[in-house]
Amino acid sequence: MPAVNPTKPFTLLTIAGTIYSLLFDFESVAKAEELLDRSLLTGLRQRDINSPSITMVRAMLYACLRVHHPRLTFDEVKVLVDRKNIVGVWHKVLEAWTAGLAEPGEDPDADEEEKNPLKSQN
């Protein structure tokens, strides 16, 4: 099983009573790119976000499931997405995409103390 960074944010998705943990990391993006045969790291197009293809939803779902659910095959993941849940699944995939690829927040106070260590002694 791949190492999981416990500080990386994940998104929960429930399908047919089963809870899945979605996480996008660099490897997940690479897997989705491989499955879709296109670059995703530079971002998703507005058209993709508004009306994704079934293939895109399935590929990205599979890619972000691999970290916490490595035993699921692509064929098993494909059947999780159907006409009734595709919109909800896509929203969760986008939520995971946004959370997983966001740059970690910076603490402005910590930066100021690093620049001027004497400031905290006043």
Looking at every residue in the chain, the average pLDDT score rounds to 82
Domain that holds residue 61: 11-121
Write phi, then psi, for 21 (nearest 5 degrees): -105, 120
Interval 24-35 mean pLDDT? 92
pLDDT score of 104 more than 60: yes
Residue 2 lies in a domain: no
Closest Cα partner for 2 from 32, 23, 17, 33?
23
Residue 56 lies in a domain: yes
Q: Total structural domains in the chain?
A: 1
Interval 91-107 mean pLDDT? 79
Provide the residue type at 117 as one letter. Answer: P
Interval 63-82 mean pLDDT? 96
Residue 1 lies in a domain: no
Q: What local confidence, expressed as pLDDT, does residue 42 receive?
A: 76
Residue 24 lies in a domain: yes
Residue 71 lies in a domain: yes
| Rounded Cα–Cα distance for residues 45 and 31 (Å) | 18
Residue 3 lies in a domain: no
Q: What local confidence, expressed as pLDDT, does residue 103 receive?
A: 66
Residue 83 lies in a domain: yes
Residue 6 lies in a domain: no
- Which of 16-20, 35-39, 99-103 has the weakest average pLDDT? 99-103
> Are 27 and 8 spatial neighbours (Cβ–Cβ below 8 Å)?
no
> Are 35 and 74 spatial neighbours (Cβ–Cβ below 8 Å)?
yes
Interval 2-25 mean pLDDT? 83
Q: Considering the entire predicted model, what is its pTM?
A: 0.76
